[in-house]
Chain A
Amino acid sequence: MTTDHHHGTPPAPVERRAVALEELLVEQGLISHEDIDAVQQEYETQLGPMHGARVVARAWVDPSYRERLLANGTRAVHELGIEGPEIEHLVVVANSPEVHHVVVCTLCSCYPWGVLGLPPNWYKDPPYRARVVREPRVLLAEMGCPLEESVEIQVWDSSADCRYLVLPERPAGTDGLSEEALAGLVTRDSMVGVEVL
């Protein structure tokens, strides 16, 4: 395994290793059990794609908001009271009938937590990270998002401080819907760019 002095001996079970680390950090005064509960609670309930969905719905109904969002994503999401982590340099890229955007972090797992929550495992695993830059058209089709050959694909690799959010196109036949109802149509995957609504 990773260690150089334990050849042949399997590691302790992962949960026991995690508990060992937690106990030692608690004893060192670096963290408390309550801190961990608070982190768990925050990431499970306060963060998530519902924030991004609100942003998208607003951009669909308010052309001047859409303009501000595309000009400065961070400022525009703050306008809606969205203040989470990993959106200090948020760049929003808008899909159109001619162009489809898709986001990745090939080097690790950078993702705009404040608008989408923590990334799903597929986003963090090697197949997506390697293939979305190598053969995006093939991969998107495999993931249930086939695109016409005429649609240009723009891939955004989050390799520095910017985090990217895709503004999907508003689905046809939604003219009568309220902003809240529109937000209910927006999925996480459409804001990563692996789905068309």
Chain B
Amino acid sequence: MDFGGVTVDPDEPVFRARWEAAVMAAALALLSAAPARGWNQTLSSFRYARERIDPVDYLGSPYYERWLTTVATIAVESGVVRREELEKRAGGPFPLARPLRVHGLENPGSGVSRFAVGDRVRVWQRHPLGHTRCPGYLRGHVGTVLRSHGASSLPDVEVHSRLRVQEAVYTVRFDAGEVWGDGQTGVCLHADLWDSYLETP
């Protein structure tokens, strides 16, 4: 897919209107209220809600409009507001992200740290329907572990259950010419990948 050129607005304000700040503030408020109210909503849940937005809308709407859909989806799924109320107040349809379709864990995680700096690793070839932070463009490709970070909660589990699986995250280096198969040289790509996304080649 050719996305075309990058459009830069040198005079872009932080927020173009107050409602954009309101959306940001609402996201922060829902995140901070979640533990006390017993909602399983973390930053990963917001990312997953955004991934459930219709792809045409995702690609076609401005950033804060995507965020509005995301935050409203989280608010409705947490039970704090009802969609009908939102639509009544807004005076028309209020699009939300698509409903959760994945129940259960597609990737229960390794929960461990299996690799060390310098190891060659292959990114797994799985394509979950639910949330993951394993970038699609790296799947199946082999890279080298550059750094090993501490354990961190695996988003694939966090979003889809109340469990938390802590596993190591590694910075892995890939050769862009190998990833894209186009012979480009002198370009390294790095991504930070959870242990369970990787296997020994």
Interface residues of A (CB under 8 A from B): 1-4, 6, 9-25, 28, 30-31, 35-36, 38-40, 43-44, 89, 106-109, 117-118, 120-122, 124-128, 130-131, 133-137, 139, 142-143, 149-162
Contact = CB atoms under 8 A, between A and B. Distances in A.
B135 A157 contact: yes
B68 A17 contact: yes
Nearest to A2: B95
Contacts of B30: 25, 30
B117 interface: no
Contacts, number: 221
Contacts of A43: 14-15, 21, 24
B122 interface: no
Contact of A15 (B19, B80, B85, B98): B19
B92 A108 contact: no
B3 A36 contact: no
9 contacts: A14-B19, A19-B90, A21-B81, A22-B22, A30-B80, A40-B15, A106-B135, A155-B188, A157-B190
A185 B93 CA distance: 48
Interface string B18-46: 11111111101110010000000000000
Contacts of A39: 21, 24-25, 28
Q: For chain B, what secondary structure do more than half of its interface residues adopt (helix, strand, loop), or is it mixed?
A: mixed
B57 to A, nearest CB: 5
A122 B26 contact: no
Contact of B12 (A109, A121, A130, A131): A121
A135 to B, nearest CB: 7
A35 B25 contact: yes
Nearest to B61: A14
Contacts of B188: 152-155
B91 A21 contact: no
Given A1-B57, A107-B133, A107-B135, A21 B187 contact: no
Nearest to B24: A39
A108 B187 contact: no
B133 A160 contact: yes
Interface string B67-97: 0110110010000110001110111111111
Contacts of A149: 186
Interface string B182-193: 001011111111
Given A2-B54, A12-B92, A136-B187, 4 more contacts: A30-B30, A153-B186, A155-B189, A158-B192
Contact of A128 (B6, B15, B134): B6
B178 interface: no
A20 B187 CA distance: 47
